[in-house]
Amino acid sequence: MTDTAVRYIYILSAALFVFSLKWMRSPTTARRGCFAGAVGMLLAIVGTLMRPEVVDYKLIAAAFVIGTVAGVPLAYLMPMTAVPQRTALSHAFGALAAALVGTAEFYRETPHGAVMVALVFETLLGFLTFTGSMMAFGKLQEILPQRPITYRNQNVINLTILGLAVASGVWLIARPEQAWIFPIFIALALVFGVLLIVPIGGADMPTVIALLNSYAGLSAAAMGFALGNRLLIIAGSLDGSSGFILSVVMCRAMNRSFTNVLFGAFGQVQTKAGCAEEQRAVHSATAEDAAQILDAARSVIVVPGYGLAVAQAQHKLRELYDVLTRRGVNVKFAIHPVAGRMPGHMNVLLAEADIPYDHLFEMDDINSEFAQADVALVIGANDVTNPAARTDKSSPIYGMPILDVDKAHTVMVIKRSLNPGFAGIDNPLYYLDKTLMLFGDAKAFVTDLVKELAEVAKAA
């Protein structure tokens, strides 16, 4: 009876996971998607706790308390701008859990055959994802240097360590009773996870996080095979494949070759480019000047970026949108797939301020419209607008598709200084004759713009 109930709960849970992914594809249904995923997970936990193999709840209760004590502050204390780091930590914990379960199973059961293959796969991916994700967390949190660290023969050293880890895994599959190899196998996987992330920096990080997500999912799916748990196989495969698809999408958005990312962007060195440009003059303007230009415009394309999130200026931006649309200006929002610090960052931010979804446009859909736009208003975005990506072969972001902001009649950029963005490179956009730099914090400047526009409206 319990077995049948668990089976039905698992089916319901698996269906909710699938619907959750489907609903998360659109901003209009994303909340429902998150809710469905959470309910699916709750059902999965309840179903698992009902399984007849679970005979004692004491240790489970202790793990539940520890998990809650760590998870609740993670959810509430980390700001929105730190979500990538938080995601990296979640992957690290998920992968560590899978790897520890695999380790426990190895010492408890010493499995053979297909189960041992799944267990080796689970522990290898689990441990390397754990250290890799901790490294990604350290880099994004700026505890570790963000720049790629490279050294001679890095490819060879890394691939040798991976090769040794795989070889010891194969050995364990062939001779599971030789348990002394297991700690060596674990150590190699842990070291490889660190080395995988060391040479990666700047613009590659989002893709790497998506890839680590995929690894953690695949590790969980392998754990499902090792434990004979179908729901784990389904959930892990969904996680693994969606992470993989996301990393392919991110690769395309950043023009990274997938092989390059798969092998940890080995040997990629990102240098500061265009330092000479820092000496060049820019045109700056006040909120009053900018308000006059915006008021005279008929079409404005807003380009939000990471600085908008840092300044938490989304609600003020909504006010600006309202003022401009009331004055008959056609306002659209251009969303670059890697703007901000996580996939979908800008969509989430603008949704928080109730900016209508149908005014948000993906890069490919809006790029052709910049040439007709009176104003491109860039708010806290930098790398995703950098024309060097189109023209400068020496630039680390050369080939990355960008928003064609420089094609608008007038470009206005709100940021605090001429400092570079995430990729650490200068932006030639700022030195164009048509570009006006609006120096200041995004929230403060947009607030001033709204005030100035109200003055203009009063005077009219």
- Which residues are designated catalytic? 383
Q: Which positions touch ligand NAP (CB under 6 A)?
A: 84, 203, 205-206, 254, 305-307, 310-311, 338-343, 345, 380-384, 414-417, 419-423, 441-442
User: Token pair 């023009």 is at which residue?
Assistant: 255
Return phi, psi of residue 455, to 5°: -60, -45
Angle at 30 between CA 28 and CA 35, to 5 degrees: 130
Q: Which is nearer to ligand NAP, 209 or 222 (CB)?
A: 209
Q: Which residue is nearest to ligand NAP (CB)?
A: 421
223: nearest Cα among 109, 112, 59, 97:
97
**Nearest CB to ligand NAP, comparing residues 256 and 332:** 256
Which lies closer to ligand NAP via its Cβ, residue 297 or residue 313?
313
In the complex, what is the shortest distance from the CB of residue 443 to ligand NAP, in angstroms, rounded to a whole number? 7
**Nearer to ligand NAP (CB atom), residue 123 or residue 214:** 214
For ligand NAP, the closer of residues 144 and 164 by Cβ is: 144
Nearest-approach distance from CB 329 to ligand NAP, in angstroms: 22
Amino acid type, 294: L
Nearest-approach distance from CB 362 to ligand NAP, in angstroms? 14
Cβ pair 131, 193 in contact under 8 A: yes
Closest to 346 (Cα-Cα) out of 329, 358, 364, 334: 334
DSSP run (H or E) holding 290: helix 287-296
User: In the complex with ligand NAP, which residue's Cβ is closer, 185 or 430?
Assistant: 430
State the Cα–Cα distance between residues 43 and 10, nearest whole angstrom: 7
| Min dist. Cβ of residue 449 to ligand NAP (A) | 13
Angle at 253 between CA 250 and CA 255, to 5 degrees: 100
CA dist., res. 388 & res. 368, Å (int): 18
Q: For residues 450 and 413, is the Cβ–Cβ distance under 8 A?
A: no
CB 391 within 8 A of CB 427: no
Q: Cβ neighbours of residue 240 under 8 Å, at least 6 residues apart?
A: 214, 215, 216, 217, 218, 220, 221
CB 422 within 8 A of CB 203: yes
| Residue number, 122 or 319, with CB nearest to ligand NAP | 319
Helix (H, G, I), strand (E, B) or coil at 50: coil
The percent of the chain in helix, strand and coil, each rounded to the nearest 5, is 65, 5, 25
Give the tokens for residue 146: 């963000």
Nearer to ligand NAP, 92 or 310 (CB): 310
Determine the Cα–Cα distance for residues 210 and 240; give it in Å rounded to an integer. 9
What H or E segment, with its residue span, contains residue 13? helix 2-23
Residue 449: which residues within 8 A CB-CB, separation 6 or more? Answer: 287, 290, 291, 294, 320
433, 429, 414: which is closest to 283 by C-alpha? 433
Q: How far is the CB of 135 from ligand NAP (least distance, A)?
A: 14
Q: How far is the CB of 346 from ligand NAP (least distance, A)?
A: 8
> Would the CA dihedral through 320, 324, 325, 326 be positive or negative?
positive
Smallest distance from the beta carbon of 300 to ligand NAP, in angstroms?
18
As given in the structure block, the two tokens for residue 222 are: 């392998």
Contacts of 25 (CB under 8 A, 6+ apart): 33
